[in-house]
Amino acid sequence: MPAYRYVVQGRVQGVGYRYFVLRQADALGVSGFARNRPDGAVEVLAEGSDAALADFEARLREGPAFAEVAGVEREASPDRGSSGFHIR
């Protein structure tokens, strides 16, 4: 199953972004995690089907109402074999 590491830049901490990501992942059957980074970005590791990850990435770029997503970087990540989605 494909897996990607995303780094989401912008106003994404303190606005419920990680919980938004958790809800989107659960809705799409994507597993992995989201965590805040010291530089103000949010890091997301996601694993799922190609279709689910394409939809998931589109939702990452949108974010919740109070977020301002300035950019999303994506890179392939080794398959983590994880189950469920978690906030770290």
Q: For the packed helices 50-62 and 17-28, what is the interaxial angle rounded to 10 degrees?
A: 160
Cα–Cα distance for residue pair 43/73, rounded to 1 Å: 10
Up-side HSE of residue 14: CA atoms within 13 Å toward CB? Answer: 4
For 76, the 3-state DSSP assignment is: strand
Say which of 5, 11, 36, 59 is annotated catalytic: 36
Q: Is 37 a catalytic residue?
A: no
Q: Is 18 a catalytic residue?
A: yes
- Residues annotated as catalytic are 18, 36
